[in-house]
Amino acid sequence: MLHSDLPAAGDLDERVRFYLERELGFSLDSFPRSGLDLRESPTRTDERENRLSIIRLGNGALATAIPRLIAALSPTLASLTLDELFSPVGLAELRRALPPEDAESLAHGSDYVLTDARDFRPAKTPHATIPLTKNDLPPEQFDLRMSERRPPAEAQQDDFIWAFACRHDDDNAEATELAPFGPRCASIAIVIWKSPDLAGYGLWTEEAYRGRGYALAVVTAATEYVLQQGAAATYGALTTNLPSLRIARRLGFTPAWQTIWA
């Protein structure tokens, strides 16, 4: 993705801005207009995948990390251009600089947003989607999903929609990982509320059913639902997961930011 595809911090929708400021621990007014800043942040903790976060917006990027990683990464970050950093070269250099236990979880993702319902291009697929409510969730998923419900009023409703699923029609197929979400479940998009007016998705499609439009169908249904709530939607995936990123582009999402995390 070219940096010109990404909006500058000052051009972000307020709902997206609120979410990113909470994630970074800083006001976006202090986000660098160009180049890279490296800072400690109260939102970073010594937990896997939360020790380092580098977010790129427009021509600038802000790296936040726990103290022990700042010292380890400073020389490497200073030696890379922004384009190099958000490329395979940059990831390789970061892995060399990070301690092994941190390098293992290093990843690079792209995030897209859809803030205006008029830009939504719902896909037509042959697959019917099924909204899942509280009673449709596997018991082991309930506590996790509780933290992702949209406050305040909906959290008290038993018919609150948690996810959308698609089912395949192969009665002879073996049970899959998604079977607890319903018989023959091929794909699921769990709605994860990042704030009261911004939602993203946890998306999973069984390997045997990928490439058939199931994921496109559940993300279409989930996005339609989010927009109906008057909220904005985000869609994130690893930059190497091209089939997933194509879903975002097909539905009218636009590039918003990139993140490197460990």
Q: Where are the domains of the chain?
A: 3-105, 117-254
Q: What is the mean pLDDT of the chain?
A: 90
pLDDT of residue 152 exceeding 50, the answer is no
pLDDT of residue 234 exceeding 70, the answer is yes
Query: What is the tens place of the pLDDT at every residue in 198-215?
Result: 999 999 999 989 999 999
> Would you state the pLDDT for residue 28?
95
Residue 202 contacts by C-beta under 8 Å, 6 or more apart in sequence? Answer: 188, 189, 190, 192
pLDDT of residue 154 exceeding 50, the answer is yes
How far, in Å, are 22, 117, 127, 161, 223 from residue 121 at the CA level?
29, 9, 17, 22, 10
pLDDT of residue 259 exceeding 60, the answer is yes
The owner of tokens 């380890």 is: 72
pLDDT of residue 2 exceeding 50, the answer is no
Are 19 and 195 in contact, with CB atoms under 8 Å apart?
A: yes
> Would you state the pLDDT for residue 1?
37
> Would you state the pLDDT for residue 160?
78
Are 237 and 245 in contact, with CB atoms under 8 Å apart?
A: yes
> Would you state the pLDDT for residue 175?
67
Query: What is the tens place of the pLDDT at every residue in 71-91?
Result: 999 999 999 999 999 999 999
Three-class SS state of 204? strand
Q: Which CATH class is domain 117-254?
A: alpha beta
Q: Beta strands 232-238 and 198-205: pairing type?
A: parallel
pLDDT band for position 158 (cuts 50, 70, 90): low
> Would you state the pLDDT for residue 138?
81
Beta-carbon count within 10 A of 5 CB: 12
- In eight-state DSSP terms, residue 127 is -
Average pLDDT over residues 90-105: 96
Closest CA to 148 of 189, 106, 206: 189
How far, in Å, are 205, 207, 246 from residue 211 at the CA level?
9, 9, 11
pTM for the full model?
0.89
